[in-house]
Amino acid sequence: MKTQTFLILCAIQLFPCLAGSGDFECFIRRLESLPIERRQTVADSFWAARNQFPVVEDSLAAFVFREDSFRCVTVTGDFNRWKHPGDTLKRVPGTDLCHLYKSFERDARLDYKFVIDGKNWILDPCNPDTCMGGFGPNSELAMPEYVRPAEILDKPDIPRGKLDTLSFRSALLKNDRRVVVYLPPSYSKEAKRTYPCLYVNDGGEYITLGSICNVLNNGIHGGKITEVIAVFIDPMNRNGEYWLNEAYITAVTDELVPWIDSRYRTIRNPAGRGIMGASLGGLTALNAVRLQSGVFGLCASQSGAFWIEEEKIIELVRKAKVSNLRVYLDWGSYEPSIPTIHVRMADMLIAKGCRVKTRVWHEGHSWGSWRAHLAELLGFLFPARTPSP
């Protein structure tokens, strides 16, 4: 133990970045300048002294991995479109230390994984930060100015909404599905009050991966979001239902909406009713207001999958007779093919007289991004009522 501590202290003195201040790139250059027989000892000291990975300095992130018996270590993630096998880490000769430098915006947040020998996808074993996605957890890189969303956290000391789990039968689609209804904290106390209503595609994932109920509870308690009923809809055949499927939208507007209205005290006009989703669910939300603006007057799309048939979707919206909609669109700068079509969509909706809010984040196509910005989305669609003077 004394020997190991001595090595760590010596290494920190030689290479200040081991103590958390300094230049990792400088450390690598100095390590490579040592006699090859001394390098592994210093590399071991680096691992013992360093407690945060990847190594982040200003706009530079260094992915670091201990290569033992592997032939090749690569990293793939939002920043390289999850290409396989990814970008190759360089090993320092005479050591098991592999590294790769990349530059990012100072407020970026990105998902990634290491790929071992081109086939074994693993989390970063030295990074405790992960983000759950639809295919399981990914390691998470957060740059220095990224602000972690406190509103996704469960706060047991504030009033909470109530969840009703129901089974909904669609005669049109000939199937049954789970529907979860969020009732805001005052619902059971204010018997004569009616509430706006939000329909959420991929509802189960927005609850589990998006922490949307926590965001609602915190936003309502903090006076940033008005009390709203949220209806979380699980898809039965996601690709089939969400890809420009008018039958699915008709089932929602002609069957589900009246069914919900008959059971709960909802505001029953387009100004008080919205629909939202992410990716294909975001495309479906926009398609719903295109087809049924008399039902939905509010819409939010996070990373909407408009790129799949860009010109077709643009033409459908161009021909749509919509106005006075309130639409929220956000996307990540690390999402391929998304930014251009979203700018075109926003400009077209504004020209039609819709109120549109757009936000671009230095993130990827990820639940980590979508959940982090729900508070802004909900605050735009359902702003808290201003108290009377």
pLDDT of the residue at 245 = 94
pLDDT of the residue at 386 = 53
Q: Are residues 113 and 24 in the same domain?
A: no
pLDDT of the residue at 50 = 84
Q: Are residues 143 and 183 in the same domain?
A: no
pLDDT of the residue at 42 = 92
pLDDT at 332 over 70: yes
**Tally of helices (H runs) and strands (E runs) in the chain:** 13, 18
Tell me the CATH number at 96: 2.60.40.10
Q: Are residues 227 and 163 in the same domain?
A: yes
* Residue 321 in tokens: 């007779």
Q: Provide the 3-class DSSP secondary structure of residue 236.
A: coil
Q: What residue ranges in the chain does DSSP mark as E strands?
A: 55-57, 60-66, 73-77, 87-88, 90-91, 97-103, 109-116, 120-122, 130-133, 136-142, 162-170, 175-183, 197-200, 229-233, 273-278, 298-302, 326-332, 355-361
At 6, the pLDDT band (50, 70, 90 cuts) reads very low
Buried b (16+ CB within 10 A) or exposed e, 195-231: bbbbbbbbbbbbbebbbbbbbbbbbbeeebbbbbbbb
% the chain with pLDDT above 70 = 93
At 337, the pLDDT band (50, 70, 90 cuts) reads confident
Q: Are residues 202 and 229 in the same domain?
A: yes
pLDDT at 9 over 60: no
Q: Are residues 158 and 137 in the same domain?
A: no
pLDDT of the residue at 107 = 97
Q: Are residues 327 and 354 in the same domain?
A: yes
pLDDT of the residue at 134 = 83
Q: Are residues 238 and 105 in the same domain?
A: no
Where a domain ends, among 104, 120, 148? 148
pLDDT of the residue at 3 = 44
pLDDT of the residue at 192 = 93
* Residue 88 in tokens: 């190759």
Residue 215 inside a domain? The answer is: yes
At 387, the pLDDT band (50, 70, 90 cuts) reads very low
Residue type, 106: R
Q: Are residues 131 and 156 in the same domain?
A: no
Where a domain ends, among 148, 183, 198? 148
Nearest to 92, CA basis, from 26, 48, 36, 47: 36
* Range 138-142 average pLDDT: 97
Residue 96 inside a domain? The answer is: yes
pLDDT at 155 over 60: yes
Nearest to 61, CA basis, from 96, 110, 6, 12: 110
Residue 388 inside a domain? The answer is: no
Q: Are residues 291 and 374 in the same domain?
A: yes
Count how many domains the chain has.
Answer: 3
Where a domain ends, among 101, 132, 148? 148
- Cβ count within 10 A of residue 75: 24
pLDDT at 262 over 90: yes
The mean predicted confidence, pLDDT, of the chain is: 91
Residue 122 inside a domain? The answer is: yes
Q: Are residues 143 and 158 in the same domain?
A: no
Q: Provide the 3-class DSSP secondary structure of residue 141.
A: strand
% the chain with pLDDT above 90 = 80
Domain carrying residue 354: 151-381
Q: Are residues 233 and 112 in the same domain?
A: no
pLDDT at 10 over 70: no
pLDDT of 25-76, one tens digit each? Answer: 888 999 999 999 999 999 998 888 887 899 999 899 999 998 877 789 999 9
Residue 246 inside a domain? The answer is: yes
Residue 389 inside a domain? The answer is: no
pLDDT of the residue at 52 = 85
pLDDT at 300 over 60: yes
Q: Are residues 192 and 261 in the same domain?
A: yes
